[in-house]
Amino acid sequence: MKYKIVCDVHTHTVASGHAYGTIREMAKAASEKGLELLGISEHGPGIQGTCAPVYFWNLKVVPKVLYGVEIFHGCELNVLNDGTISLADNYTYFLDYGIVGIHLNCYDNVGAEKNTDNLIECMKHPKVNFISHPDSDDTPVNYERLVKAAKKYDVALEVNNSSLVEYYRRINCHENYRTMLKLCMEHGTNIFVSSDAHDPSDVGRFDLALKMLEEVGFDENLIVNTSKEKFKEFINRKNIKFQKKK
Ligand SMILES: [Zn+2]
Ligand SMILES: [Zn+2]
């Protein structure tokens, strides 16, 4: 494989309500796979059975390194139909980073243009660094607008390995990723590759996503999770920009 991903930053533990590993089991798996950094990103409010917001407040008790792997804490926030995210700022405050995604559990598909407007609105939030799985025709987006806005607001778009797995296979996702990745190269927009693991056995699984990147000859420089340093620099620079504005 041409690309090497050493940070898996979109993963879920038992706290998400429909995932099956503990933080330690996920970290152990990450260590065995040779990852340098594991980001745990439980679902935000809106997904049935996920943790209460108070979960994010107490993440400070979790060791920063487990099994030799650095541990970061994010949240996979939901975009709501009014273009806001599903977690209040007194809780996003405790996150290292934020991922926003459309989930039909708490979102009504309103068509490509309006879906795109709602995601762009979320990108303006200082804690939103990533957009998860913008890849399915059941919640279509306008890729040209999404990719340009991601560049403008310093947000990276995901290539989600789970979306490409046979038993999950999201609608038209191969074709959608091809479109998105070509536009990302054209506009210099960052992406990240993740497993979206809901079980330790999937931590660090990137095979299908990387195949996709090879297929389109994607520019490695635009991938933000090929090293720990690059990942940290990427999430920090939006934080710094925001602090300067205040
Ligand atoms: Zn998701
Ligand atoms: Zn997820």
Contacts of 32 (CB under 8 A, 6+ apart): none
Q: Can you give the pLDDT at residue 53?
A: 97
Residue 226 lies in a domain: yes
For 213-233, write each residue's pLDDT tens digit. Answer: 999 999 999 999 999 999 999
Q: Can you give the pLDDT at residue 166?
A: 81
Distance 244 CA to ligand 1 centre (A): 31
Instruction: Using the Cα atoms of residue 74, residue 100, residue 84 and residue 189 in order, give the sign of their dihedral.
Output: positive
Distance 112 CA to ligand 2 centre (A): 21
d(CA 30, CA 205) in angstroms, rounded, equals: 10
CA angle 182-238-62, nearest 5°?
105
Q: What percentage of the chain carries pLDDT values higher than 70?
A: 98
For 112-143, write each residue's pLDDT tens digit. Answer: 999 999 999 999 999 999 999 999 999 999 99
Structure tokens at 36: 């340098």
**Number of domains comprising the chain:** 1
- Contact (Cβ atoms closer than 8 angstroms) between residue 119 and residue 82: no
User: What 8-state DSSP symbol labels residue 237?
Assistant: H
pLDDT of residue 57 exceeding 70? yes
Domain that holds residue 21: 7-245
Structure tokens at 66: 């487990």
Mean pLDDT, residues 25-38 taken together: 98
Residue 185 lies in a domain: yes
Query: At 66, which CATH number?
Result: 3.20.20.140
Residue 1 lies in a domain: no
Contacts of 105 (CB under 8 A, 6+ apart): 46, 47, 48, 78
Amino acid at 217: G
Residue 92 lies in a domain: yes
pLDDT of residue 246 exceeding 60? no
Residue 30 lies in a domain: yes
Residue 186 lies in a domain: yes
pLDDT of residue 74 exceeding 60? yes
Distance 245 CA to ligand 1 centre (A): 30
Distance 207 CA to ligand 1 centre (A): 18
Distance 162 CA to ligand 2 centre (A): 9
Distance 86 CA to ligand 2 centre (A): 14
Residue 2 lies in a domain: no
How far is C-alpha 215 from the chain's CA centre? Answer: 22
Residue 169 confidence class, pLDDT cut points 50, 70, 90: confident
Burial (CB count <10 Å: 0-12, 13-18, 19+), residue 204: buried
Residue 244 confidence class, pLDDT cut points 50, 70, 90: low
Residue 240 confidence class, pLDDT cut points 50, 70, 90: confident
